[in-house]
Structure 1
Amino acid sequence: MIILLFAFILLFTTVLQAFMPKFLKQTEAFGVYVPEQYSTEKTVIRLKSKYTRVVLIAGLVILAGYLLWSLTQNPTEATLALISVGVQFSMLFISIGYYFMMHLRVKKLKEEQKWLSGKSEVRVVDIKFQDKLKLIPKVVFIIPMIVTIGLIIYTFIKYPEMPDMIPTHWGPNGQPDDFSEKTYFSSIAILLLLLVMQGMFLLMSEGMRFSGSKINPANKKTSLAQQLEFRKYTSWFALFISISVTLMMGYLHLQTIHPDISSAWVMLALPITFLVVVLFGVLIYAVKVGQSGSRIKIKEDSPNLEHSITAVDEDRYWKGGILYFNPDDPSILAEKRFGVGWTLNFGRPASWIILLLPLILILTIAFNL
């Protein structure tokens, strides 16, 4: 079962990474801005296809090797877990390494062909953009947090009835294999982690409200409509993940108070079901929405502007096309250039707080168990 689970994760991530260029805007290739009229340039299309082919083949070879090794060598549980995690990271490093190769090639091509030569850079701003947004109200994200706080209160009420040792990890067979001594802190540690994650989903949804829009001057109406839909779907997706995590971690916590509500089979099936549901949610989101809503079909298209006008080239703010550093941009969140979703604007001090504070809290909770 564990072998099949890790094989499924490896296959899923390989396919998602390999076909990532299909989910991105045509005006961005491997983290580099591509003016509208060069988006169908043969070399750019060829590099995208090559990336898909190389990453897909590499992932399938690694998958075949992993299955052959795990099914013929009969490894111990600890070795299997170590190698299984290792192959996931190996595939990630391969895809990232090849991405950077493609990033440099597109960047060089852009300089050699002088894509921006003779063009006026235009930034389109919709002053009513925030009023048009249809994000999930923050009170909806707060509801799962209230449920978690309720579980904390319930735990303190039931504290005297809880066992002296609290399970903190479950093995592949669904049985707990690691415990912490019961204290008021250890009894609610999993709920504190849940609160941190719920707060992060809330911040992500609300952060989109104040993030500047990237409207394409060559197709303003379509670009604006896709931007609005993209943020709406992302808000819904964040809520979906928040609720899913709350249900899973809430159940895991309740079974430590009431062991009779669970079984080894349930404890084995629950995280697997959660993982499959979330992964398919990610897939549906990527295929339906795409980067910046680029895959959302809009009925009314606006005519393209003349080739002498292009969007503002912000390549200088993107380090490797992945990390965004722009101290002049008040936005905390920025749309990813490679990948579907959002990243932080590391040019703003508040972004570092948003990144480090949850990490510190999670590590503090984990190391005090």
Structure 2
Amino acid sequence: MTTGAAVVQVVISSVVLLTAWLMPSLTGPTLPFGVRTPPDRVDAPVVAEQRRAYRWWVGGAGGVLVGAEVLLALASPRTPLSALASLAVLAVAGAGYLRARRAIQAVKRREDWYAGLRQAVVADTSLRTRPERFPWPWAVPSVAVLAATAVAAAVRYPSMPDQLPMHYGDGGAVDRYAAKSVGTAFTPVFVQLALTALLVLVTWQVFRSRADLDPAGPAASAARHRRYIVRLAAALLVLTACADLTVLLAAWQVWDGDRTFAPLPVLAPTGAGLVAVLAVAIRTGQNGSRLPVPEGEQDAEDTGTGVVHRDDDRYWRCGGLVYVNRQDPAVFVAKRFGIGWTVNFGNPRSLLPFGVFIGFILVMQLIGR
């Protein structure tokens, strides 16, 4: 592994560690570690205790792993690190998450937190009759980068070498070439086209997904949801443009016939896009939980409705990460732990996003041959 690749891997592991450490603060207060709790239990001792234990565990064990990776990169920059360090950090965070989740669930069952509470599900019809406008202008940069890549490929085609690099090995050296042709030279354009279409389509679908509103303050949570989906959708479209720019920079090396791959400048735009998404996530919180109550909605939230969100933990399997509800027509639903959305595996239509994603992978494999 080259020095540049080692630096990239260390940065990725550090970002994964930071994101995992911050995750409890990004999730809504009534969903500590994916466990549904009534509003009067958000400050329960077990919740504060497990949140503190999780952060010590992730910060300590994860920090040791990242520190060891840094020392290894400094001592031997060419030692293959692959993605093992990042996966190890994820494993550490996963173990801490499951431990905290089980502890909170045990107290929730023992003390019967939902005894005597009125449970309900609410909807705001205005989210359908007067929906927020999809932030299409934020998709313009990705289209512009795609067009620039196509123009650059056409202009540079006559001067490209007869053999173009098609794949770089772990050491950053070319291990497969292909004869120059319209297909091989324009492969980056095809990749950008498929990537842009996939990310914009998924962003548009989740933008129209069902809102998870708080029955105790439906008007306030609906207003938060509106601001959240617009900001996060815009951030995802910025990430799409950054990913397209990464493809363009990689293509430039291919068109020059470079024998070695320089990862730092190529991956920098995608890294910047991920930082932008993370910044928006930290500012908004999951489903807008960290946003201030919009002006005019304060009374609705303070007064309350006398009901709480229904205890729907039974629909969340595999440690609260997989949603399975055959009675729910929604395809995309808000995650219980983390930022963004997941699919409803109880809805057959949820197979479509996976089919699109698998099709994208297969197309990329065929193009790369």
Bin of the TM-score, shorter chain as denominator length: 0.7 to 0.9
Distance 1:160 1:15 in 2: 46
Distance change in 2, residues 1:188/1:326 (3 Å): farther
Out of 262, 269, 272, the residue aligned to residue 274 of structure 1 is 269
Out of 213, 216, 226, the residue aligned to residue 215 of structure 1 is 213
Amino acid at match of 2:266: P
Alpha-carbon RMSD: 3.1
Task: Classify the secondary structure of the residue corresponding to 1:33.
Answer: coil
Report how many residues are paired.
360
Equivalent pair of 2:215/2:308 in contact (CA under 8 Å): yes
Distance change in 2, residues 1:123/1:250 (3 Å): same
Equivalent pair of 2:332/2:341 in contact (CA under 8 Å): yes
Q: What is the CA-CA distance between 1:27 and the residue it aligns to? A: 0.6
Distance change in 2, residues 1:305/1:321 (3 Å): same
1:18 is matched with 21
Task: Classify the secondary structure of the residue corresponding to 1:168.
Answer: strand
2:123 is matched with 125
Out of 239, 243, 267, the residue aligned to residue 241 of structure 2 is 243
Task: Classify the secondary structure of the residue corresponding to 1:227.
Answer: helix
2:350 is matched with 351
1:109 is matched with 107
Amino acid at match of 1:38: R
Distance 1:150 1:350 in 2: 36
Amino acid at match of 1:206: W
Distance 2:291 2:247 in 1: 33
Distance change in 2, residues 1:237/1:158 (3 Å): same
% identical aligned pairs:
23
Distance 2:236 2:228 in 1: 12
Where does the alignment leave 5 or more consecutive residues of structure 2 unmatched?
none
Distance change in 2, residues 1:53/1:294 (3 Å): same
TM-score if structure 1 supplies the norm length?
0.85
2:188 is matched with 190
Q: What is the CA-CA distance between 1:105 and the residue it aligns to? A: 2.0
2:280 is matched with 285
Equivalent pair of 1:135/1:205 in contact (CA under 8 Å): no
TM-score if structure 2 supplies the norm length?
0.85
Give structure 1 regions of 4+ aligned residues with deviation exceeding 6 angstroms: 171-175, 262-265
Distance 2:157 2:268 in 1: 29
Task: Classify the secondary structure of the residue corresponding to 2:338.
Answer: coil
Amino acid at match of 1:95: A
2:324 is matched with 325
Q: What aligned pairs does 1:1-369 form with structure 2 within 5 A after superposition?
A: 1-2=3-4, 3-72=6-75, 74=76, 77=78, 80-81=79-80, 83-138=81-136, 141=139, 144-145=142-143, 148=146, 151-152=149-150, 155=153, 162-169=160-167, 178-254=176-252, 256-257=254-255, 259=256, 267-300=262-295, 301=298, 302-305=301-304, 309-319=307-317, 320-366=319-365, 368-369=368-369
Distance 2:62 2:272 in 1: 22
Task: Classify the secondary structure of the residue corresponding to 1:25.
Answer: coil
Distance 2:350 2:228 in 1: 22
